[in-house]
């Protein structure tokens, strides 16, 4: 698809500095720009590329003032990152969507399919499943019995959605993820044995949830494991049974949440964060990468770091002291020697 810089500026409420008639037919990173491409600048670490980029147009913030002449046409907006993201969304939505049922797909007779549904090669749709309008179930995906999927939901190749799980509207589950596998429930028995506790609950993904590749969300022992609307999970994340993740919370890769933990709204977790079971995490909590949270965080908008995690500023000061431990040890040893000498005198 092709657009003029004027058309793009009108869509994102931008002001043009340069040629409004330039044709844009692709997007590119600012350091890899080429003729006909649209780029954006929001991180000033990349400003140097603005003066050499081959892109025909660049989206910048309204208050940005170039330090040198710029060859590209500039489109000034309130927030260049948000504006560029909006354009990418339009570009993605403009691509034709797959429709139809592949001959090798298996769809049970009791399943109900909405309008313009796609079910790819070797995919399976179980008994009493409901697929909303424009759902897409890609090759080798499996939707278990009694599941419900809302409108415009995408299930990518190799995904397994276990029985009785519910997925809302406009959700995305990326390749290899498992929704609704058994929670890790085993009761210790005599003789060092364990007895499996049946996991009879389900998983609920509310609207606008995105699940990365190779993520596992365990079903509840009883009730539901719930991922609230707007949650975004990166790749390689483990969500334990009966966990509840609040609205618009985001988690980076390799995060793990143990069973029955309740996470608030608008939380942010860096990579490899681990949270123990049966704790409560307040709204707006931020946990830096590799943090280990082993107790409740009840104060909203708290930032933590470390393992065990505690308040971020205190953790930083503690690490400054930790790095100086060898030097401090030597100082203590010297003081001990001086004290001994004084005593001997």
**Catalytic residue IDs:** 241
- Give CA–CA dist 301/130, Å, rounded: 39
CB 254 within 8 A of CB 270: no
Comparing CA positions, the residue from 192, 200, 147 lying closest to residue 171 is: 147
Q: What does the block give as tokens for 304?
A: 């933590």
DSSP string, 152-180: T-EE-TT-EE-TT-EE-TT-EE-TT-EEE
Residue 199 φ then ψ, to 5°:
-105, 100
Largest interatomic CA distance in the chain? 98
Spatial neighbors of 289 by CB under 8 A, at least 6 apart, are 252, 270, 271, 272, 273
Q: Name 64's Cβ contacts closer than 8 Å, sequence gap at least 6.
A: 41, 76
| Nearest one of 167, 174, 138 to 153, comparing CA atoms | 167
HSE of 187 in the Cβ direction (CA atoms, 13 Å)? 7
- Measure the CA–CA gap between 147 and 231, rounded to whole angstroms: 20
């Amino acid at each position: 698809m092709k657009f003029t810089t004027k058309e793009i500026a009108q869509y994102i409420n931008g002001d043009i500095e340069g040629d409004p008639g330039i044709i844009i037919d692709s997007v590119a990173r600012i350091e890899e720009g080429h003729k006909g491409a649209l780029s954006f600048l929001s991180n000033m670490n990349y400003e140097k590329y603005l003066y050499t980029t081959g892109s025909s147009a660049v989206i910048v913030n309204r208050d940005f003032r170039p330090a040198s002449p710029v060859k590209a046409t500039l489109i000034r907006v309130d927030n260049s990152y948000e504006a560029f993201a909006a354009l990418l969304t339009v570009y993605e939505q403009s691509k034709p969507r797959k429709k139809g049922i592949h001959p090798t797909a298996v769809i049970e007779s009791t399943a109900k399919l909405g309008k313009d549904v796609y079910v790819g090669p070797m995919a399976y749709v179980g008994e009493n499943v409901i697929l909303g309008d424009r759902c897409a179930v890609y090759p080798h995906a499996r939707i278990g019995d009694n599941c419900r999927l809302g409108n415009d939901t995408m299930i990518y190749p190799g995904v397994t959605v276990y029985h009785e799980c519910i997925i809302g509207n406009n959700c995305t589950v990326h390749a290899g993820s498992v929704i609704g596998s058994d929670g890790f429930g085993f009761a210790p028995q005599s003789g060092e044995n364990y007895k499996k506790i049946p996991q009879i609950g389900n998983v609920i993904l509310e609207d606008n949830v995105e699940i990365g590749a190779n993520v596992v969300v365990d079903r509840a022992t009883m009730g539901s494991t719930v991922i609230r609307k707007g949650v975004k999970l990166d790749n390689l994340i483990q969500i334990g049974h009966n966990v509840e993740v609040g609205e618009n919370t985001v988690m980076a890769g390799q995060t793990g949440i143990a069973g029955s933990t309740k996470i608030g709204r608008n939380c942010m977790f860096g990579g490899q964060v681990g949270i123990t079971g049966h704790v409560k995490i307040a709204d707006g909590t931020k946990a830096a990468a590799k943090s280990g949270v082993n107790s409740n965080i009840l104060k909203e908008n708290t930032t933590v770091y470390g393992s065990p995690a505690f308040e971020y500023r205190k953790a930083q000061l503690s690490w400054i002291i930790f790095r100086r431990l060898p030097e401090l040890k030597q100082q203590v040893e010297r003081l001990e020697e001086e004290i001994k000498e004084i005593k001997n005198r």
